[in-house]
Amino acid sequence: MHFRVHSIEKKRPFNLLTIKGPFSLAEIHSWVFQCVPEVPEKPQFIDATVLFFESTFLGTHLECNFQKGEAKFASDNISTISIIREFLTKEATKKKIKIDINVGKYNTFHPFFYAVWLVSM
């Protein structure tokens, strides 16, 4: 469960989900609207949308950045990325839209990660 916030801390290691395909902004927005709470019913911008969320229980973050043909989701919780990936794959399959999915990491060794490692020693 997530709630919408105005920005997120970028100093954490994030998992990145990238989805590309022949979907419209309205389609990808509709899918995200169904998957994540507090997403506005209609896209706020004509070309692209960027939304930020925080987990109610864990305090982890989620960034959703999508436009026609491409969507990127970044989270410091791999479970969040997995749930979004599964949901969007099902929605694209229902519409018979072929999508390319890539999951990876960025900011893998950052001062935040190093500080957590030092504290655990």
Integer Cα distance of 87 and 93 in angstroms: 10
Q: Give the pLDDT confidence score for residue 43 in this predicted structure.
A: 72
- Domain boundaries along the sequence of the chain: 2-120
Q: Give the pLDDT confidence score for residue 6 in this predicted structure.
A: 64
**Which strands, in side-by-side order, build the sheet including 70-75?**
2-5, 48-55, 61-67, 70-75, 14-20, 100-106
Tell me the whole-structure pTM to 2 decimals.
0.77
Q: Give the pLDDT confidence score for residue 121 in this predicted structure.
A: 38
Q: Give the pLDDT confidence score for residue 61 in this predicted structure.
A: 86
Q: Give the pLDDT confidence score for residue 116 in this predicted structure.
A: 40
Q: Are 37 and 1 in contact (CB under 8 A)?
A: yes
Integer Cα distance of 27 and 12 in angstroms: 30
Please name the helix (run of DSSP H) or strand (run of DSSP E) that holds residue 66, with its range, or none: strand 61-67
Q: Give the pLDDT confidence score for residue 120 in this predicted structure.
A: 37
Q: Give the pLDDT confidence score for residue 55 in this predicted structure.
A: 81
C-alpha angle with apex 103: 102 to 106, nearest 5 degrees?
Answer: 120
Integer Cα distance of 23 and 73 in angstroms: 16
Phi, psi of 115 (to 5 degrees): -65, -40
Integer Cα distance of 21 and 92 in angstroms: 9
Q: Give the pLDDT confidence score for residue 114 in this predicted structure.
A: 41
CATH architecture of 2-120: 2-Layer Sandwich (3.30)
- The one-digit pLDDT tens for each residue of the chain (121 residues) are 665 566 666 667 789 999 999 999 999 999 999 988 888 877 776 778 888 888 878 878 898 898 999 999 999 889 999 999 999 999 999 999 999 999 987 654 444 444 444 443 3
